[in-house]
Each structure stands twice: as structure tokens, then as C-alpha cells.
A and B are shown apart, each in its own frame.
Chain A
Amino acid sequence: MASQFDVIILGGGPAGYVAAIRSAQLGMTTAVIERDKLGGVCVNIGCIPTKALLHSAYIAKLLREAKEFGVEAGSVKTDYGVAMQRSRRVSDQNSKGVEFLMKKNKVTVVKGSGVLQTGRRVKVGSDTYEARTAVIIATGSRVKGLPQIGLEINKTTVISSDEALFLEKAPATLAIIGAGAVGMEFADIFSAFGTTVTLIEALPRILPLEDVEASDALAKSYKKRGIEVIAGAKVKKGTPAKDKVTLEIETNGATRKIEAAAVLMAAGRAVNVEDIGLAECGVQVTERGFIKVDAGLQTSAPGYYAIGDVAGPPMLAHKGMREGVTVTELIAGKKPHAIRYDNVPSVTYCHPEVASIGLTEDQCKERKLEYVAGRFPFSANGRARGTGETEGFVKILRDKKYGEILGAHIVGGHASEIIHELAVARENEYTVEEVELAIHAHPTMSEAVAQAALDSLGRVVDM
């Protein structure tokens, strides 16, 4: 006799654990199957520990600049091992927090690797669990290497974020392949801990999914602090040796060699769809390897749902969390508000931070939209001057006719926090005028948002 639950969730990452809590709140008996630690990549080897390390990097940066602010801290010494240990404690606290939430909401946690069976059943080892209503697949994703060019992750000289997060020492030199969020953040971290960093991106600019102006601002900032940024570069070959890796890269038709103590692979992730019984249950995947879902997040097999990274991009924890809430409400027969996938904020927590929502200026052009761009630099913002965070800007793209906020891009201190004003605005279809009409406290970084909105209307005050 199989143990029965109303809802069984495969995977206890951000999408899965949020789905579990909402499911329990809705009165359904719920089980989560997790092979590793609760909280998934995000809590254990992703979002959370990197934010801890980035803050260590930020403190190092502050101390180096402290003299200018009238504070002498002597010579600044950094120890990646200590920072790493602290980041582990932060992750563990968060993972325990998720464990507590499971208990509090009476969610059963099954440790082990689950394999889907037909009839909404999941096998874990020799035990079988049966879902009366739904099975939710939330198995997430993992980093991938580039074995085809000799760069298979060997965990010593060719590493991924999984290893980088557990290093005892920062390497002397590091080549990072991929300048998306992960590559950008590790470049920031290791550079602050004394590593000579080379950042290599295949596409023509770093942070390729962000607005061109954001990419340019970050390239400038990174170069200024001694990070070598090579965009539009193809890695032809990687040759790992005992304590170094030689990379052969091609940029602008020329080939050059780069040597580094380690290579960090930060280009792309693979979804975890293997060995979980998808095909046996009739769960289809897309050409790109994601699980195929309909508008209600149900897979091609009735009663089987998929959320989070496995269900398709953007592969972001907060997108998965929202899907976790929505899918359980749908399963419980409620009518949740449809997820607006065009309104998922994207944040890179390097310094300066990069946050965006909606369309980039290039996308506006591609779609032949009539738009007006409003900008405001933090160098003209009083608060930013006071804290010395004058790098960056707020840029708002508005529809020319109706003032709809088509996209917003922020580079600067606390961009990750400031962006939400624009997320709320877009979710509620406020135009730039409503954003500007809301009184912004003075002096704050957020004033730059109101000023950028005003600039798009041709009425900027502070510039």
C-alpha cells in the first residue's frame, strides 16, 4: 500500500518548497521529495551563498576606499576561506529555515531521489508514494561544462560555481567563461579577493541579455578595477594541466592564449530531466530540453505538472516560486491571476548592481515600437554622491503614445531593491506619469527613478 498524499512535489528547491507550503495552506496533504538539502541550488549553491560572498567583496571594496571617507582601516587583508565559511553558515541557516517551514506547514519531506511512475506515483528507493491529485516536477537545473572543447568540469582546475563556492583560497588567476549573472558575480567576488580575473563572453558584450547601456557601464567599471573583459570571444580549445589551464580563444579573427590557475565555467545550465521517469509517464520535453507545459503548467501527462527551471526560462528562483504558488492554486481549483512572464525582474548582484524589467532598447527597436528613453545618472543624485555610489543610472523606456513602461534598467548601488517600484508599476499598468506623481523621499537613490520617468516626459528637474 503506497503512502498517499494529495500533492507530491519532486524537488525541494525554491519552486518546490514554495509549492509545498502553498499546497499545505490550501488544505492538501503534501509531500516533498528531495535528494539533497532543502532549498535546492538557490539556498545551498546559488543565490544565497553568492550574496554572502558578494557582501564580503563589497566590504573589502569599502575598506579600500575608506580613507577617502575619513576612516583608516590599515592595510586590508582578505581571506576567501573565512568568507566561504560564513557563506556556508548563511546557506545552512536558510536550508534549516526551509526545513522548519516544512514542519510548520505539516509537509512530509522524503529524502532520496524520486522516479515518476504512472498513476501519479513516485518511487523513492523501494518505497512508492501516490498522489491523489497531482505530481509536481520541480527538479531544477545544474551547471554544465563544455566537454566538446576539452573543458569538462574536473573540479580542480576546471570548476563550476558548485566548486567555487567551497574553495578555501582564492586562486591567483581565474578565467571565467560566460559573462551572464553567474560569471559577473564571481568576477566581482574573486577580483575583490585578489584574484586576477579574465572574463570571457562569446556574445558581443557582457551581460548579453541586459540593455546595451548596462553592459557598457559594467564593462567600464570592471576594466577600471583591473578585470580583463573579453567579449565576442570564441573559446576554441581548453587544455587543463595539473595546476593551470591554457585557453585558446579567438576574437576579431585573431587567436590568443590565456593561462589561468583555474577556469570557472559559467556558461549555461542544463535542466534535470534525466532518470526521473518522464518518458515512462508520457511527460514530453521541448526541443531545448525543458519539460513541455501548458498555460496551467500541466505537462503532456494529465496530473503531472512542472514548475521552475525544468519548465522553461527564465531560469530564476523568483519565477519558479511564483509558479509554485500558481500551480498549487490551480490544482486546488482556484483561479489564480495569470503569471506575467514579461514582468519577471532580472538582477545581477555584482557591483554596481544591474537590475532590469521588461524590454531592452534593442528589443523595442526590433519590435518597431515607438518609444522614448528617459535617463538619470546616479552622479546627479544627492544620496548617491553622499555614499560615493555615483556609478550607474536609471533608464526607463516608455511607449511614446500612452506612456506605458516598456522596460526599465538600473545600474548602481541597490539596483536590486530599487527595481521593484517599476515591477509594481508594470504589474498594475501604471504609466511613467503615475511613477513620477508618487512622491519620492529626498534624498534617496529611488529619486533617480522618478527623475528618469520625468526625463522620458521631457521634464527632468535635477539635471
Chain B
Amino acid sequence: MATKVFMEALSPTMEEGRLVKWHKREGDVVKAGETLAEVETDKAIMDLVARADGVLRQVAVTEGQTVPVGNVVAVIAAPGETVGPAAQAPAPAPAGKGEGGGATPAPTRAAPTAPAIVVADATRVKASPLAKRIATESGVDLKLVTGSGPGGRVVKRDLEHAATRPVAAMPAPAPIAPFPLPSSPLPVPRSGAPYEDVPLTQIRKTIAKRLATSLGPIPHFFLTTEVDMERAGEARDALNRQLGDRGKVSFNDVIVKATALALTKHRACNAWFQDDHIRYWNEVHIGMAVAVEDGLITPVIRHADLKALLEIGGEARDLAEKARNRRLQPSEYTGATFSVSNLGMFEIDQFTAVINPPEAGIIAVGSIAPKPVVWDGQVVPRRRMRITMSCDHRVIDGATGAAFLKTLKEMLENPLAMLL
């Protein structure tokens, strides 16, 4: 059996390749894995390797020629095998032209190109019509359900399990930290199998697709600043004393509120990148990353700029609870204009978060801890917190992001500034 040698996609974005140099000549014996030729991609010069053992036949592309990914560049035949007319060497293709060699039959199998990632597809869930109806009626988010049907399809039985899942098994919502510890696969005895293949849940698939559309294609840059949280802490303590049994304000609530207010003053950061236009939002809806069993989801606090701290706090706890019980409605986790991710309760000093497209920015919040700082010429301990903003450079420039961050920092360091 003759094996066709295709121009392969040697980089994720490569569409065509220039054959720089053949390492093997027609008639040479080749082994799978051996370099056949050097190919110049859009990024570098890479090796094109043999995918089968045999003899190189019918080199169809001359050195210096450019052909699209997926075109046949040669054939590897078994020793002594005569290659049928279907695989005849095509006439050299004009460089860069769509179809390549005129006589080359189009490759019947899909060329090894990088799959195009379509954002619209990222939230697609495979589910039976019945499962979809049950989910719609009962408010279960199919993205959070592991499908047991053919090809990981969510079927009725999976929803029965989701509905009967004991609530006690869920991590109890912490009053201050809205994130439960994510569960990891149970440890197995050392004598067991060397590994375990766990099929991707729908939410895991969605996370994989969504995040691959973020950090790869979106030109991120990061801005970090350290915020003095002493006064915010005092204000929070005073408020909580005053509230007594009526509720509690968390640092997270203060940060969400301050972020929302700062965004009203920096519309440039409250925006969506939409391919051919940028949508600057007049409303502020803050996405709040919540860890759930087997993944994360970002429920949205709508109009966070207009809400009181207690309202934000109540809603945040409510949404986090719903997220963990898989009861979020699509309207509750879509439509954020900006996001906040807080890993402070895990004692993370500082980190960078991945933008949730089409949003243009996200704030990553580290832990609040006392540190020695110079204050009025004295070294004193003060509660400090590091925040890092990830910006989509297509929307937000360095100075724009820095200006927003400065406003946010001022509001947190002097909570009265929120009233300005």
C-alpha cells in the first residue's frame, strides 16, 4: 500500500508551506519518523517526517515551491511496488495557489490541520432531546452534567442522577470565602493501574474550549499593583459590627463593588471584543469565578455598580450556592462585562487570570495579609493585597488599564472614594 505524504500543518496557524530542501531523493529507502524534507512554515523551518516505511516515490514538489497544507508532496511505496495512476506525480503547482497540483487528487482523508476553534460552539452541549426538555423544565445546567450516552451525550438517566445527588455531598458554602475546595480524583493504592482515563465532562470540555479561545488567540498583558487594605478592612469591620445579625460584608463584596464602580469611570475597560467592532458597555455586570465540583463557572452579578454591598454579598453567596448545586440558569452565567477571580482564601499572593471572552479584562485577586510597609516614614505592619489585571490588548492599552487600576486601588485604599 502506497502512503501519500501530505504537506502537514507544522504550526497551529500554518496554511501553506515552502519546501526548502528534500533530505531524501526519489528511490531512497525511508523509515517512519525519518526527516523527508525541510519546510518553511509561517513561523520557522520545520522537518516534514515520513509516516510510513518504504521507498520514496513520485516527489511532486520541487525545492522552493510553496503548497497548501493538505496537498500531496510525495508518495512512499512498499519496496518493488508500482504506484497506480491515481497517485501519479502531479505537475508542479504554482506557488501559493489554492488547489495545488492540477492532477493531484484531493486528499481523501482530512489533512492534519489544526482544528478551527469556533467560540459559538464552545457552549454546545450534547444531549438527547428528552434530556434537554427535562433540563429546561427543571433548571439543570446541562454543561455541568457528565453525559453517559453514546459519545458522552447527556441522557435522561444522567439528569436523574444529578437531581438525586445528595446536597450534603456538596461542600458547605463558606460564609466568607465563596469558593469550595475543588475536588480532585481520589487517590488510588500504589499497586493499582498506573493511570486512569476519566472522560471529559461537558463542563470540562467547555472550559477547555473556552480557555483555548482565550490565552491563545487573545493578546493578553498583565498589570499588577499592591493595594493597602487596612482602611477597607476597618470599614468592613465597622459595617459588620453595625449589621450584627443582619448579614456580613466580605472583602470579596467590597472588591466586586469597587471594581464595578471603577469600571463606570473607565468604560474603555468595560467592553467586549466583537471581531469587527468593540462593544463598550454602559451597564456593569461582574462575572465571579466560582469553583464547582469538576470545574468552574462564572455566575454574573448584574448591575453590580448600582447594588449595595449587602445585596452583592447576598447575591454572590446565592449564585455560588446555585453553581455548586448545578442549578444556575443560563441567564445567570452569561453576559458579564468584566470578571473577578479571587484565590485569596487559598493564600495565593498573586496570580494571573485568563480572560473570559468576549470580555476584555479580568482582575485576579490575591490574599490579604499583613506585611511590613513604610507608612509615614515608619515601618509598620499593614494588611496588603495584590491584584493583577489581565487585559485584551486589542481593546485595552497599557495606560488605559493602568488608569482603571489606579482608580480601583484608590477606591479600595479609601473606601469613601466610592462615593465620589
Contact = CB atoms under 8 A, between A and B. Distances in A.
Contact of A430 (B129, B134, B137): B129
B150 A431 contact: no
B155 interface: yes
Contacts of B133: 402-403, 431
Nearest to B150: A337
Contacts of B137: 401-402
A430 B137 CA distance: 16
Nearest to A437: B129
A429 B130 contact: yes
Contact of B129 (A337, A401, A434): A434
A430 B130 contact: yes
B347 to A, nearest CB: 41
B130 A402 contact: yes
A3 interface: no
A428 interface: yes
Interface residues of B, number: 11
A248 interface: no
A404 interface: yes
A401 B130 CA distance: 11
Contacts of B156: 404, 429
A429 B128 contact: yes
Contacts of B149: 337
Interface string B117-151: 00000000000111101100100000000000110
B150 A429 contact: no
Contacts of B155: 429
A463 B150 CA distance: 38
Interface string B45-80: 000000000000000000000000000000000000
B134 A402 contact: yes
Interface in A401-434: 401-404, 428-431, 433-434
A310 to B, nearest CB: 28
A403 B150 CA distance: 21
A424 to B, nearest CB: 12
Chain A CB within 10 Å, residue with most, of B128, B130, B133, B156? B130
Contacts of A431: 129-130, 133
Contacts of B129: 428-431, 433-434
A432 to B, nearest CB: 10
- By secondary structure, the A interface counts as loop
Contacts of B134: 402
Interface in A374-416: 401-404
Contacts of A430: 128-130
A434 B155 CA distance: 15
Interface residues on A, range: 10 to 19
A430 B129 CA distance: 5
Given A429-B155, A429-B156, A404 B150 contact: no
A434 B129 CA distance: 8
Interface string A325-365: 00000000000010000000000000000000000000000
Nearest to A338: B148
A298 B156 CA distance: 27
Nearest to A405: B130
Nearest to B154: A429
A404 B130 CA distance: 6
Contacts of A434: 129
Nearest to A404: B130
Contacts of A401: 137
A428 B127 CA distance: 10
Interface string B141-173: 000000001100001100000000000000000
Interface in B282-340: none
B131 to A, nearest CB: 6
B130 to A, nearest CB: 4
A404 B133 CA distance: 9
B147 to A, nearest CB: 12
A428 B154 CA distance: 11
Contacts of A428: 128-129
B384 to A, nearest CB: 52
Contacts of B130: 402-404, 429-431
A313 to B, nearest CB: 22
Contacts of B128: 428-430
A401 B155 CA distance: 17
Contacts of A402: 130, 133-134, 137
B42 to A, nearest CB: 40
Contacts of B150: 337
Interface in B339-367: none
A405 to B, nearest CB: 9
Nearest to B136: A402
A193 B180 CA distance: 76
A436 to B, nearest CB: 12
A402 B130 CA distance: 7
Contacts of A403: 130, 133
Contacts of A433: 129
A431 B127 CA distance: 13
A358 to B, nearest CB: 13
Nearest to A428: B128
Interface in B208-255: none
A262 B74 CA distance: 78
A404 B131 CA distance: 10
A398 to B, nearest CB: 11
Interface in A219-255: none
A403 B149 CA distance: 19
A426 to B, nearest CB: 9
Nearest to B155: A429
Nearest to B134: A402
A269 B397 CA distance: 81
B85 to A, nearest CB: 32
A337 B155 CA distance: 13
Interface in A249-287: none
A404 B150 CA distance: 19
Interface in B90-137: 128-131, 133-134, 137
B259 to A, nearest CB: 41
A401 B133 CA distance: 9
A139 to B, nearest CB: 31
B366 to A, nearest CB: 43
Contacts of A429: 128-131, 155-156
A210 B392 CA distance: 65
Nearest to A403: B133
Interface in B12-45: none
Nearest to A433: B129
Contacts of A404: 130, 156
Interface in A297-337: 337
A337 B157 CA distance: 14
B128 to A, nearest CB: 3
Chain B CB within 10 Å, residue with most, of A403, A428, A430, A433? A428
Interface string A426-460: 00111101100000000000000000000000000
26 contacts: A337-B149, A337-B150, A401-B137, A402-B130, A402-B133, A402-B134, A402-B137, A403-B130, A403-B133, A404-B130, A404-B156, A428-B128, A428-B129, A429-B128, A429-B129, A429-B130, A429-B131, A429-B155, A429-B156, A430-B128, A430-B129, A430-B130, A431-B130, A431-B133, A433-B129, A434-B129
Given A430-B130, A433-B129, 19 more contacts: A337-B150, A401-B137, A402-B133, A402-B134, A402-B137, A403-B130, A403-B133, A404-B130, A428-B128, A428-B129, A429-B129, A429-B131, A429-B155, A429-B156, A430-B128, A431-B129, A431-B130, A431-B133, A434-B129
The 7 closest A-B pairs by CB, nearest first: A429-B128, A429-B130, A402-B133, A404-B130, A434-B129, A430-B129, A431-B129
